[in-house]
């Protein structure tokens, strides 16, 4: 098998979301680097420009069309009766030009009470065209187009005037399959099913003469089956993630508002045992390692969720390092112009993907365009200069607009 060097790197990135920053880190020792490993890591990539422009946060931000990824329970509090958004991200564009993430998301309010909503999304991650060759000097044998996609359907409902909950059912397919005629090695496509559970609480306190908005949210995503790429010999956990967030929105002046938000993320996946954490020079150490590895490989996803809070080799201090922090803000003028910025921090021991983000948005009647830009703290990072674009449509507004024209 003879992949091009760029695509070897890109496929490795898809298999391990921690690789880009790990290669850029020179101050982290091998013995300390211990990321949480999962399959289908592209499920964790932010699809939309608004959330990414605020440092990758959205658990408690104001509801919008792209709430499916961040916290689908927010749809029950959406201001419009429905919407659709299309997002596009050229991924790793500093390395190759044919890898991208595409996403289409939509929702529609149900009933006359405006208390519940249906939502759906489809995300497609393409790894571009990969050429596989034979032995040195021989031509290409085949060209493959590895990809991953997720299709989901969600439902959210207000349980009170201030609180809502939501659930999402998801089907996942990861096709990185290939057949090597020389070595006999092969990979198969992997599929899985998962569930998201979320909640959203919002209140409107008065500060002075101004009515503000204070909200909290949580989302547990990708609770589901494991995936296998080698005919069931080995299995990988899905990137089950716990997201907790809060946001405070307050008016600056007429038609001007400022929102400040904070999200905390932790993968609910058990840490894979490492040989370096055991005394491999003794029989007892080797046995302990093999037992721990077998226990990890056969562990159920639900057991893994609870285990993930207490299994880090470094104890509680290392568990804290597994928490990613996102902080960001959004300035809005008359809900027509938006300016955003944020910062995402991940401990170097767990991947080191830290970066600043910037974004802007423009809304005109029923159409809104958002864009974001990522600036990694390590300039050598292939994630540096990542761009995202989102085009959103207010379906209720379009319906009213065309209805007025017909009349």
Note whether residue 234 is domain-resident: yes
Is the pLDDT assigned to residue 5 strictly greater than 50?
no
Q: What is the pLDDT of residues 359-371, one digit of tens each?
A: 999 998 899 999 9
Note whether residue 280 is domain-resident: no
Structure tokens given for 305: 């969720």
Query: How would residue 16 be classed by pLDDT, with cut points 50, 70 and 90?
Result: very low
Is the pLDDT assigned to residue 9 strictly greater than 50?
no
pLDDT score of 144? 78
CATH number of residue 264's parent domain: 2.40.160.40
Contact 373/384 with Cβ under 8 angstroms?
no
pTM: 0.88
Q: What is the pLDDT of residues 45-91, one digit of tens each?
A: 999 999 999 999 999 999 999 999 999 999 999 988 999 999 999 99
Q: What residues have CB less than 8 Å from 218, skipping those under 6 apart?
A: 59, 71, 198, 199, 242, 243, 244, 245
Is the pLDDT assigned to residue 100 strictly greater than 90?
yes
Three-state DSSP class for residue 157:
strand
> How far apart are the C-alpha atoms of 165 and 117, rounded to whole Å?
11
Domain total for the chain?
A: 1
Query: How would residue 141 be classed by pLDDT, with cut points 50, 70 and 90?
Result: low
pLDDT score of 113? 72
| Pairing verdict, β 241-253 and 130-133 | unpaired
Contact 218/261 with Cβ under 8 angstroms?
no
Note whether residue 120 is domain-resident: yes
> How far apart are the C-alpha atoms of 369 and 334, rounded to whole Å?
15
- Nearest-CA neighbor of 275 among 102, 15, 31? 31
Greatest Cα pair distance, the chain, in angstroms, is: 84
Q: What residues have CB less than 8 Å from 107, skipping those under 6 apart?
A: 65, 67, 68, 75, 78, 82, 83, 117, 118, 119, 120, 154
Segment 283-287 mean pLDDT: 87
Note whether residue 222 is domain-resident: yes
Q: What is the pLDDT of residues 148-198, one digit of tens each?
A: 999 999 999 999 999 999 999 999 999 877 665 555 566 778 899 999 999
- Which of 17-26, 133-142, 221-230, 337-346 is predicted with the least confidence, judged by mean pLDDT? 17-26
Is the pLDDT assigned to residue 15 strictly greater than 60?
no
Mean of per-residue pLDDT scores for the chain: 86
Query: How would residue 285 be classed by pLDDT, with cut points 50, 70 and 90?
Result: confident
The residue segments making up the domain with residue 360 are: 5-271+308-406
| Pairing verdict, β 147-158 and 163-175 | antiparallel
* Neighbour-count burial of 355, counting CB atoms closer than 10 A to its CB (0-12 exposed, 13-18 middle, 19+ buried): buried
Is the pLDDT assigned to residue 18 strictly greater than 50?
no
Note whether residue 296 is domain-resident: no
Note whether residue 244 is domain-resident: yes
């Amino acid at each position: 098998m003879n992949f091009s060097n760029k695509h070897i790197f890109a496929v490795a990135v898809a298999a391990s979301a921690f690789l880009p920053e790990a290669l850029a880190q020179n101050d982290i020792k091998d013995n300390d680097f211990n990321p949480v490993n999962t399959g289908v890591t592209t499920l964790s990539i932010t699809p939309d420009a608004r959330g990414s422009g605020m440092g990758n946060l959205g658990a408690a931000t104001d509801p919008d069309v792209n709430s499916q990824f961040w916290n689908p329970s927010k749809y029950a509090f959406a201001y419009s009766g429905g919407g659709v958004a299309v997002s596009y991200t050229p991924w790793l564009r500093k390395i190759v030009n044919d890898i991208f993430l595409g996403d289409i998301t939509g929702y529609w309010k149900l009933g006359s009470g405006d208390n519940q909503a249906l939502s759906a999304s489809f995300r497609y991650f393409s790894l571009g065209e990969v050429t596989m060759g034979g032995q040195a000097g021989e031509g290409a044998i085949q060209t493959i187009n590895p990809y991953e996609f997720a299709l989901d359907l969600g439902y959210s409902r207000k349980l009170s005037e201030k609180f809502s909950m939501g659930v999402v059912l998801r089907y996942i397919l990861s096709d990185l399959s290939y057949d090597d005629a020389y070595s006999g090695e092969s990979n198969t496509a992997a599929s899985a099913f998962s569930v998201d559970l979320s909640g959203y609480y919002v209140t409107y306190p008065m500060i002075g003469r101004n009515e503000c908005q204070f909200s909290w949210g949580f989302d547990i995503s990708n609770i589901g089956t494991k995936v296998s790429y080698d005919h069931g010999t080995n299995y990988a956990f899905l990137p089950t993630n716990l997201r907790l967030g809060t946001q405070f929105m307050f008016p600056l002046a007429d038609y001007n508002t400022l929102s400040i938000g904070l999200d905390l993320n932790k993968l609910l996946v058990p840490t894979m045992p490492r040989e370096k954490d055991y005394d491999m020079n003794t029989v007892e150490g080797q046995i302990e390692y093999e037992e721990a590895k077998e226990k990890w490989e056969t562990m159920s996803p639900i057991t893994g969720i609870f285990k993930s809070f207490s299994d880090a080799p470094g104890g509680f201090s290392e568990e804290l390092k597994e928490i990613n922090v996102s902080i960001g803000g959004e300035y809005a003028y008359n809900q027509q112009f938006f300016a955003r910025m944020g910062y995402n921090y991940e401990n170097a021991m767990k991947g080191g993907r830290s970066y600043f983000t910037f974004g802007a948005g423009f809304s005109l009647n029923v159409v809104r365009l958002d864009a974001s830009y990522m600036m990694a703290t390590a300039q050598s990072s292939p994630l540096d200069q990542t761009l995202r674009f989102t085009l959103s449509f207010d379906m209720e507004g379009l319906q009213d607009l065309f209805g007025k024209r017909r009349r």
